[in-house]
Amino acid sequence: MQVEKVDTLVIGGGQAGLAMSEHLSASGLSHLVLERHRIAERWRSERWDSLVANGPAWHDRFPGMTFPRTGPDGFPPKEEVADYFVAYAEKIAAPIRCGVAVTKVEPHAGRPGFRVETSAGVIEADNVVAATGPFQVPLIPSVVPADTGIQQMHSSAYRNPGQLPAGAVLVVGAGSSGVQIADELMRAGRRVYLSVGPHERPPRAYRGRDFCWWLGVLGLWDLETREPGMEHVTIAVSGAHGGYTIDFRRLAEMGMILVGRTEGCRDGVMSFAPDLAENLARGDASYLSLLDAADAFVAANGLDLPEEPEARRIGPDPDCVTHPIRQLNLADAGITAIIWATGFGVDYSWLKADIFDERGRPRHVRGVTALPGLYFLGLPWQSRRGSSFIWGVWHDAKFLADRIATRHKYMAYHEAAG
Ligand SMILES: Cc1cc2nc3c(=O)[nH]c(=O)nc-3n(C[C@H](O)[C@H](O)[C@H](O)COP(=O)(O)OP(=O)(O)OC[C@H]3O[C@@H](n4cnc5c(N)ncnc54)[C@H](O)[C@@H]3O)c2cc1C
């Protein structure tokens, strides 16, 4: 069998794979990107129809190109985001092959480099960058048996309200996906129950600046590790309808029924933890602490930004918070569908290397593994909080390209020296 040889093989043609390609090219390093479907496939087929970016167009992009249709302060729809990456691949002339899946990667025995099996043949690569996404495998906790007659789906399979049977809906998880889907269903006239766990909810904007700007100037996108105890805390933001602050009390006022963290289901009865008020209070505290930090920054830097005292008003607790539902009979509540907005896991079963921890996550330092020539890109918190976001991955790719160039230099010397 013909074996193709490449210097660096990048697996995945999402934003991470493209950022990697740009920086490898800029360093004069030959490479190939393999994408099993289409460029930025997840933005096309693994997001709901109405999704827009959570960050404004000026912020959630690569430095070298603006969004063509959405203005800087707008939130690009998901198709525009996908189109953006297709155009970007053309702009940087990325050497990308679509429709080719990598099925196995293993290090050579006794020599550097990797043997890569793909749906289109075998490749040998000196370096491999796994850029297969931070959010790969939908996670649905095994709480509700499949035979209850209730339609269950993960948020990545949700498209629009018309996809669900008539009736009420339970959305589990109140991060950005869960809360946006719950809001869309409520606006479509559905009775919606939303199970709210620990979360942060920054203001969409404060004193005339988007929260993405505030997190930037306050250095919070650059945090290198999660604060202890915050590992399972999700962030609830939305760019929908021009962007608005997630305020759970306001959603309850509009008719949404909030419940605590989902604990279990027995004989068609869901049970929820008694933590709803506490989760909302913690979300409020994170919200108010960002306002405090923003005010302090304005004062310290003498910025001329309009004051916004009304942003500090926290509404009264709605009835569903003061009298929380702990048990809910799904049939009695008319619930016909459950949407699990409960996050994602990873699957690196195709990568035969001893670099994973007990939970299957890669061990690495800023994407560099202990196995020479093997790198990861696009992991959550790869180098900092911003790592899995469009703009953050671009900076991580730059770092990795530098590492690959350095390794290339040493190997080139070795070969030239004989
Ligand atoms: C609902 C949602 C909304 C988001 N909104 C924003 C936002 O507004 N702003 C922002 O900055 N970030 C956002 N993100 C986060 C992040 O930008 C996206 O998750 C983004 O898709 C990650 O890009 P990536 O290239 O790292 O991974 P992916 O987009 O997952 O790309 C990986 C690619 O690898 C391919 N692949 C996987 N395995 C193989 C294989 N074995 N062989 C070949 N190809 C393979 C896949 O087909 C895929 O195209 C959002 C995430 C989600 C889930």
**pLDDT of 47-59, one tens digit each?**
999 999 999 999 9
Can you give the pLDDT at residue 18? Answer: 98
Where does CATH 3.50.50.60 sit in the chain?
3-136+346-417, 139-340
Pairwise CA distance, residues 113 & 315, whole Å:
59
Ligand 1 atom 34 nearest Cα: 12
Does residue 2 surpass a pLDDT of 80?
no
Can you give the pLDDT at residue 1? Answer: 66
Q: How confident is the model at residue 22 (pLDDT cuts 50, 70, 90)?
A: very high
Q: How far is the CA of 330 from the centre of ligand 1 (A)?
A: 34
Q: How far is the CA of 43 from the centre of ligand 1 (A)?
A: 7
Lookup: tokens for 403? 């590492």
**Ligand 1 touching residue 77 (CB < 6 A):** no
**Ligand 1 touching residue 53 (CB < 6 A):** yes
Q: How far is the CA of 15 from the centre of ligand 1 (A)?
A: 7
**Ligand 1 touching residue 378 (CB < 6 A):** yes
Q: How confident is the model at residue 231 (pLDDT cuts 50, 70, 90)?
A: confident
User: Per-residue pLDDT averaged across 308-329, rounded?
Assistant: 97
pLDDT, one tens digit per residue, over 135-192 is 999 999 999 998 889 999 999 999 999 999 999 999 999 999 999 999 999 999 999 9
Which ligand 1 atom is the nearest neighbour of the CA of 239?
A: 8
In the block, which residue shows the tokens 């040889």? 5
**Ligand 1 touching residue 83 (CB < 6 A):** no
Cβ 341 vs Cβ 172: under 8 Å: yes
Instruction: Please spell the DSSP secondary structure of 209-266, one letter per residue.
Output: EEHHHHHHHTT-TT--SPPTT-TT-EE----GGG-----HHHHHHTT-EEE--EEEEE
Angle of CA points 358, 360, 365, to nearest 5°: 90
Which of 84, 97, 128, 135 is the pocket-test mutation for ligand 1 (most atoms within 8 Å of CB)?
135
CA dist list (Å): 95 to 21, 200, 275? 8, 39, 50
pLDDT, one tens digit per residue, over 259-306 is 999 999 999 999 999 999 999 999 999 999 999 999 999 999 999 999
**Ligand 1 touching residue 350 (CB < 6 A):** yes
Candidates 1.10.10.60, 3.40.50.150, 3.40.50.1240, 3.50.50.60; correct CATH number of 3-136+346-417? 3.50.50.60
Q: How far is the CA of 340 from the centre of ligand 1 (A)?
A: 19
**Ligand 1 touching residue 341 (CB < 6 A):** no
Can you give the pLDDT at residue 183? Answer: 98
**Ligand 1 touching residue 133 (CB < 6 A):** yes
**Ligand 1 touching residue 390 (CB < 6 A):** yes
CA dist list (Å): 103 to 3, 107, 212? 15, 14, 37
Q: How far is the CA of 310 from the centre of ligand 1 (A)?
A: 37
What does the mean pLDDT of the chain come to? 97
Does residue 352 surpass a pLDDT of 70?
yes
Cα Rg of the chain (Å, integer): 23
User: Per-residue pLDDT averaged across 335-355, rounded?
Assistant: 97
Which ligand 1 atom is the nearest neighbour of the CA of 155?
A: 1
Percent of the chain with pLDDT over 70: 100
Can you give the pLDDT at residue 233? Answer: 87
What CATH code would you report for 139-340? 3.50.50.60
Which of 45, 132, 154, 180 is the pocket-test mutation for ligand 1 (most atoms within 8 Å of CB)?
132
User: Per-residue pLDDT averaged across 351-357, rounded?
Assistant: 97
Can you give the pLDDT at residue 418? Answer: 81
Does residue 81 surpass a pLDDT of 80?
yes
CA dist list (Å): 250 to 15, 280, 318? 35, 12, 9
**Ligand 1 touching residue 161 (CB < 6 A):** no
User: Per-residue pLDDT averaged across 207-212, rounded?
Assistant: 98
At position 400, the amino acid (one-letter code) is L
**Ligand 1 touching residue 180 (CB < 6 A):** no
Q: How far apart are the first and last CA of the chain?
A: 29
Pairwise CA distance, residues 369 & 352, whole Å:
13
Does residue 248 surpass a pLDDT of 80?
yes
